[in-house]
Structure 1
Amino acid sequence: MVNFVQICLIFSSFLGIFASKIFAKNNENYHPFVKVGNKYYFINGELKMNWFESSEYCRSLGGDLANIESLEELLELEKYILTRGILSQLWFDGNDLANEGRYMSHSTGRPILFTKWYSTNPDNQNNEDCLEVCMDDKTLLMNDHHCEKEFYAICQFREPSMHCSGKDSLMHQDENCILKNLVESLMQAADAFKSHSQPLLCPTS
């Protein structure tokens, strides 16, 4: 019985760690990123860079160039940019440097699925390979441009990738994985306790 009580106490301790991790995540400091819709973005309105420098700059902040995946995300970002009064063109994730006309996300390595192009674009005028967004009559539209041009960057906070692997340390797993692993551990401990608490069967002959 003592062993089972100890197991329960250990499990309670792990649940405390689990709860504190959730609390910490929910109150995580995303500075300098701000929540816009369901994502976190940062635009440094004091610093213009080429597309490559912009990508490195966003990574240095713990993010990537923004990867706009839906009209809803574009409209939320449009509203935010209008509120900030930013009129400049802005670099965001995507280029067709490897294969002309096939725009790939630099952050995910997958094709760009959502687009809302500026009229007659992309046109690859004089070999334009990198993607930017610009305001046209208060509407945020996409355009291909020369990668060496200097614009502001739209950085997007990079959510950490989580794995449900037993090899990962507790604090590097998703909270759902942690709970799943803890429940499995408690069940195994309960089974072990049950098997050890049963009387030994002696041979009858």
Structure 2
Amino acid sequence: MLGRRIENRLMALQVHMEGQLRVLRNILETRIEHRKIADRINKAVFQKIGSRYFYVEKKNKESWYSAADRCRQLGGHLATIQDEWEMDNVFSGVQPGSYWVDIYSLGGDEGPYFSSLSGKEVKYFKWGIDLPKFDHNHCVNNGD
């Protein structure tokens, strides 16, 4: 009877450890993929801010779709701003204006808003004062 309880506990621990191992493998695979993507980025045109690289187009005005395509041509993607610190630092050195970010809504003007890169709902965005939150395509631009 004691042997059976020990065996059951060991099996439960094994199942738990296998689950933890899967989580760690997923994290490792994600980090490896991010590293591969980072290695493909043309760093000559990107600026490192924090642990990520950003490119801000200062001359050409483009649609959200054209901007997303241009980013892919450069080896990147439209930025999904992670938090207030990143927002302040990415846009602090640029001229006032509107800049596309990787947020869109298929649900109309009220959202929800998603990242085109991850397909997940975005956790952070901040609207400029008295600026439109969307255009007719329900894409978001960060107006400063």
Q: State if a TM-score over 0.5 links the two structures.
A: yes
The code of the aligned residue for 1:105 comes to S
Q: For residue 129 of structure 1, what is the aligned residue in structure 2?
A: 138
The answer to which structure, 1 or 2, has the higher relative contact order (CA under 8 A, 6+ apart) is 1
Number of aligned residue pairs: 104
Q: How far did residue 115 of structure 1 move?
A: 1.7
- 1:112-138 CA-to-partner distances (Å, cap 9, x unmatched) read 11021234676667x451111121xxx
C-alpha distance in structure 2 between counterparts of 1:106 and 1:52, whole Å = 11
What is the root-mean-square deviation in Å for CA atoms of aligned residues? 2.6
CA contact (8 A) 2:133 2:141 kept: no
Gaps of 5+ in 2: 1-37
2:75 corresponds to which of 52, 56, 62: 62
Return closer, same or farther for 1:29/1:107 CA change in 2, 3 Å cut-off: closer
C-alpha distance in structure 2 between counterparts of 1:110 and 1:55, whole Å = 17
1:72 corresponds to which of 75, 85, 94: 85
Q: For residue 148 of structure 1, what is the aligned residue in structure 2?
A: none
C-alpha distance in structure 1 between counterparts of 2:131 and 2:58, whole Å = 26
Q: How far did residue 58 of structure 1 move?
A: 0.3
Return closer, same or farther for 1:128/1:80 CA change in 2, 3 Å cut-off: same
C-alpha distance in structure 1 between counterparts of 2:56 and 2:133, whole Å = 26
TM-score (structure 2 length as normaliser): 0.62
Structure with the largest fraction of strand? 1
C-alpha distance in structure 1 between counterparts of 2:80 and 2:46, whole Å = 15
CA contact (8 A) 1:93 1:131 kept: yes
CA contact (8 A) 1:104 1:111 kept: yes
Q: For residue 108 of structure 1, what is the aligned residue in structure 2?
A: 118
Q: Percent identity of the aligned residues?
A: 25
CA contact (8 A) 1:36 1:80 kept: no
C-alpha distance in structure 1 between counterparts of 2:72 and 2:128, whole Å = 27
2:53 corresponds to which of 40, 46, 57: 40
Return closer, same or farther for 1:54/1:29 CA change in 2, 3 Å cut-off: closer
The secondary structure found in structure 2 opposite 1:43 is coil
CA contact (8 A) 2:127 2:143 kept: no
Q: For residue 153 of structure 1, what is the aligned residue in structure 2?
A: none
Over alpha carbons, which structure has the higher Rg? Answer: 1
Moved over 6 A (4+): none
